[in-house]
């Protein structure tokens, strides 16, 4: 059993292995596990991906679907459990598509994270390594995602990037077995 930091951010590119690393981190805590899913199954491909992730996690996870209301999901989480949020990128996309203010939503999320008693592991995509998109919505998303990641990283005790399934601590120390 490993003691988890209060707030961990696991960041990486698409299909980098960040979700798996976050799940290993949460499982190593020995605490009850809550998975807050922000994805919405809007097409067959996403339905398949969600089903695969749920099957890979197994039955020992309580799943809460919260495409927009992460604060409500955090408030509803069982005390004494570790919460894994996968992922902030989809959560932010959902807010942008709903025409919500990403800065206000980020500020509210940080307040909820500060108020949450148990450990939280957040998963997010790094979108800053790609080209500048050719349309306004994509550029707005890319900029908002970068700001969200920076603000969360500033609050986190552990920030790790995942490349090719390998985690690298950027802030804090990875638990034994992950480093």
Cα–Cα distance for residue pair 112/109, rounded to 1 Å: 5
pTM: 0.93
> Which pLDDT value is given to residue 49?
84
The CA distances from residue 172 to 8, 24, 91, 102, 156, in Å, are 9, 17, 25, 27, 9
Regions of the chain with pLDDT less than 70: 1, 179
> Which pLDDT value is given to residue 179?
65
Active-site residue, from 53, 95, 116, 155 = 53
Active site residue 155: no
Domains and CATH numbers, the chain: 7-171 (3.40.50.300)
Contacts of 165 (CB under 8 A, 6+ apart): 16, 17, 20, 21
């Amino acid at each position: 059993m490993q003691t988890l930091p209060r707030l961990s951010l696991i960041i990486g590119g698409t299909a980098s292995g960040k979700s798996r690393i976050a799940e290993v981190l949460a499982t190593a805590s020995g605490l009850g596990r809550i998975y807050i899913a922000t994805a919405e199954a809007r097409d067959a491909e996403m339905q398949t991906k969600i089903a695969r992730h749920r099957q890979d996690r197994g039955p020992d996870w309580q799943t809460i679907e919260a495409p927009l209301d992460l604060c409500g999901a955090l408030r509803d989480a069982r005390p004494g459990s570790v919460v894994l949020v996968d992922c902030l990128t989809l959560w932010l996309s959902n807010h942008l598509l709903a025409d919500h203010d990403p800065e206000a939503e980020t500020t509210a999320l940080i307040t909820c994270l500060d108020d949450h008693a148990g450990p939280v592991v957040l998963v997010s995509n790094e979108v800053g390594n790609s080209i500048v998109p050719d349309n306004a919505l994509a550029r707005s998303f890319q900029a908002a995602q970068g700001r969200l990641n920076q603000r969360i990283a500033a609050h986190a005790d552990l920030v790790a990037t995942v490349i090719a399934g390998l985690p690298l601590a950027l802030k804090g120390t990875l638990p034994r077995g992950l480093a």
